[in-house]
Amino acid sequence: MSTILDVYNHLHNIAPFQYQEQYDNAGIIVGDPSKEVTGVITCLDSTEAVIDEAIAKGVNLVVAHHPIVFRGLKRFTGRDYIEKTVIKAIKNDIAIIAVHTNLDNVINHGVNERIAQQIGLINIKPLSIKSDIDQSHGPVGSGVIGELQQPIPEMTFLKNLKIKMNASLVKHTALLGSPINRVAVCGGVGGFLLGAAIKQNADIFITSDYKYHEFFDANDEIIIADIGHYESEQFTINLLQEIISRKFSTFAAHCTEVVTNPVNYL
């Protein structure tokens, strides 16, 4: 028998929950840790539609990247998608675990390593090392930086990036007229790492959620490529499914079939 706590502990061994940022709320969000797991759905966002999917598949654990609850809830009246999701999960005895910035901050089997693999980077290392964290689980830090097998033209790289990351669009700053070789990456909101990317001589910085005026910060020193938040982290769904499936054989782990991206493109 494998319990929800067993799954939590395995995820903790891969990406210790103490590695999460102070603002985060990773961990068991809903559910009794002692309950036996009948199956798992992995996702980016544990929305009400994902809970419905869990009910339909007969599974009782959802493992998400983003926590459905970031701040304390004072009422459960179903007034928004957060309360509706939590109410439905509790009513149907479905647990929710979030593995968020702790999975961002580990390099081995982490979010950014998976992005680097997806776009074909080698020799990857943390873009910004967290020197105040015990490194016993391997390198710990924000983002990654790596190299391509061989330099390629900027526009070729951007077109390949759009295909490999299954992005609807790529917003980018001006091309600089030099081949792309050294690539910095941060899934989700990564603008805080631009300085580190420039300092480490990256030719391009791939992330998401850049605001209009922030694109000016490239300052003709680097290309910024914004591929979208969901798009940058979507392969985390497969990553979580693989992490769980490799460990547990007493239940099935499914990647969600629900597209939880709230952004649509015309």
Q: Model's pTM, two decimal places?
A: 0.95
257: pLDDT strictly greater than 80: yes
242: pLDDT strictly greater than 90: yes
Domains of the chain: 4-102 (3.40.1390.30), 106-229 (3.40.1390.30)
Residue 18 gets which letter from DSSP? G
Q: What is the pLDDT of residue 116?
A: 98
Residue 97's contacts (CB-CB under 8 Å, 6 or more residues apart) are: 4, 7, 8, 11, 27, 28, 29, 31, 61, 62, 63, 64
Q: What is the pLDDT of residue 76?
A: 84
